[in-house]
Amino acid sequence: MGGIASFAALFGDEDRMLAAVRREYVDLGGNNAGAIWFPLFTSMRGDPRFKTLLRDLGLVDYWRRSGNWGDYCRPVGTDDFECH
């Protein structure tokens, strides 16, 4: 993950962190989106913008189709999910 998101996370700037992550993986098609699960970025998982990011990356559709939600997110009903 890029330096801007990492530094923003270290300084507690969630707005900048989420914006940098969105820019890198949604806008520019970055190929290491697994980095969003690093412990450094745990604080953004409860933010509604993080849920939007996951939807825009296509992860939520994949998880619903496959039934494999991994370690950090789980479905809540048929239309929602939560991450920790």
Q: What is the pLDDT along the chain (84 residues), one digit of tens a residue?
A: 678 999 999 999 999 999 999 999 999 988 888 899 999 999 999 999 999 999 999 999 999 999 999 899 999 988 899 999
Structural domain harbouring 17: 3-83
Backbone angles phi, psi at 75, to 5 degrees: -70, 150
pLDDT at 78: 86
- In sign, the C-alpha dihedral spanning 64, 1, 37, 40 is negative
pLDDT at 33: 87
User: Which amino acid, 32?
Assistant: N
| Residues sharing a CB contact under 8 Å with residue 44, sequence separation 6 or more, in sequence order | 9, 14, 17, 18, 21, 36, 50
Indicate the number of domains in the chain. Answer: 1
